[in-house]
């Protein structure tokens, strides 16, 4: 069984911890692709799904964590969500857009699960529909400090042999430091393109960020769009 790393206090604090992250540029990018509805894989608390729905887009979601979805439900009950693994869980209907943001494709911790997530997204798409993924580029260092504040430190530990990435989070809560270590599978743009091809999708465009900054060798993340023929 897949572990729910976002249960309990993680879900309760998720929106507070991500409030610095952009929302409007993401919605601006996605909305034109969502004329036939949008499906968010790993929809979580609805950080993107809720404002996208407010644009008049028909939005549905899939998420493994009931506690994260409970946070979404506190905002709106208008977005249908299926609880389950994004690699296998189906929702009713088809969409012109499926998307997954903020490195969540790496929550699928095997190559097989990541391919299956692409295939599941493709099954929900109409012809000419798009699958959009936001994710960091493949890590190059064994240890990297990815966040450092007075109340939170994150150290990423990477094994190039297995592409296993573990984010060690140290959080100061009620005067006490607590640790949570969450596993991911890092993945390169080229490997994602191959996964897309296996799922019957083809690369349409790739950018460094939601503002369509060109993707270069110096980019630390990418927003990629694959299209279903």
| Tokens at 144, concatenated | 């990297």
Q: Could you tell me the CATH number of the domain that includes residue 105?
A: 3.40.50.150
State whether 55 and 119 are in the same domain.
yes
Kindly state whether residues 65 and 172 are assigned to the same domain: no
Q: What percent of the chain has pLDDT over 70?
A: 100
Residue (of 40, 50, 100) closest to 71 by Cα position: 50
Query: How far apart are alpha carbons 40 and 121 in whole angstroms?
Result: 9
Mean pLDDT of 29-33: 98
In this structure, is residue 1 part of a structural domain? no
Confidence of residue 17 (pLDDT cuts 50, 70, 90): confident
Average pLDDT over residues 152-167: 88
How many residues are recorded in the chain? 229
Pair 67, 159 in one domain: no
What pTM value is reported for the model? 0.92
Domain count, the chain: 2
Domain extent, residue 170, equals 143-180
Residues 161 and 59 in one domain: no
117 and 42 within one domain:
yes
pLDDT of 1 over the 70 cut? no
Q: Report how far apart, in Å, the C-alpha atoms of 108 and of each of 14, 81, 117, 215 are.
A: 19, 19, 8, 24
Same domain, 76 and 93: yes
Residues 170 and 206 in one domain: no
């Amino acid at each position: 069984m897949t572990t729910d790393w976002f249960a309990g206090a993680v879900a309760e604090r998720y929106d507070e911890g991500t409030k610095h992250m952009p929302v409007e540029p993401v919605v601006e990018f996605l909305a034109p692709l969502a004329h036939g509805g949008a499906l968010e894989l790993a929809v979580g608390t609805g950080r993107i799904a809720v404002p996208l729905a407010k644009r008049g887009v028909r939005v549905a979601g899939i998420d493994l964590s009931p506690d994260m979805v409970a946070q979404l439900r506190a905002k709106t009950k208008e977005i249908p969500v299926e609880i389950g693994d994004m690699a296998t869980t189906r929702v009713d209907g088809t969409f012109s857009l499926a998307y997954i943001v903020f490195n969540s494709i790496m929550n699928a911790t095997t190559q097989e699960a990541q391919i299956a997530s692409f295939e599941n997204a493709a099954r929900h798409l109409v012809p000419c529909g798009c699958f959009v993924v936001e994710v960091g580029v493949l890590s190059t260092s064994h240890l990297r400090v990815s966040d450092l504040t007075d109340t939170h430190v994150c150290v990423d530990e990477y094994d190039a042999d297995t592409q296993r990435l573990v984010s060690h989070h140290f959080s100061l809560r009620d005067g006490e430091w607590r640790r949570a270590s969450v596993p991911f599978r890092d993945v390169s743009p080229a490997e994602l393109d191959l996964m897309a091809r296996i799922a019957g999708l083809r690369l349409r465009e790739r950018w460094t960020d939601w503002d369509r900054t060109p993707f270069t060798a110096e980019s630390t993340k990418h927003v990629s769009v694959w299209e279903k023929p």
